[in-house]
Amino acid sequence: MGALRGGEEIDGPNIVVIGRAVTYVAIWLWLVSVADAIKQRSAAKFVSALIAVAVFALAWWLIPFDGAFRLIAAFGVASLYLIANYFLLVAKSRKWQDVKLRGEMRRQAWIHVVLLTGAVFFLFPFVWLLTTSVKEDVEIYRIPPVWLPTQQELVNVDGKPRKLFTLISRVATSASRS
């Protein structure tokens, strides 16, 4: 997760915190621009929001860093594009209703980013519970953790030994089809 600066590798919690902050700002700005495009029914603003995704992908592809620095740089470039886009296209309209609407959209976009982060955070134990239920004891206590089982537990179904993980996936697939 580190990168080279002057021949030494930089790594640590500060880079992770900066990376997360830049990521949140970029996602927040993008959500605001998409919400503004939808509310104003503006194809040009929506295309501009899609261009921001392309700018991120292009920056990701062109930036020579690895790990957190690449993430910070790519989201930073996308954020700069979105900020420039805001001042060049959106800020032209200075009616008080538009300013109030944009402020409300910014607030709602920030709330959604925080709620999605919380949802992912609270989804982690559920995913761990499901994957642990199909692992063998050796894999449950292994460090670093194994997310998907590599060895499958055999259970008897109608007198025939079946692999538990395969059986669960078949039941889930047949339940989703009906």
Question: What's the whole-model pTM score?
Answer: 0.53
pLDDT digits (tens, 9 = 90+) for 36-59: 888 878 787 788 888 888 888 888
Unique residue bearing structure tokens 């921001």: 52
pLDDT at 122: 92
Q: Are 76 and 24 in contact (CB under 8 A)?
A: no
pLDDT digits (tens, 9 = 90+) for 94-116: 677 777 877 888 888 888 888 98
pLDDT digits (tens, 9 = 90+) for 3-22: 444 444 455 667 777 777 88
> How far apart, in whole angstroms, are the C-alpha atoms of residue 92 and residue 44?
14
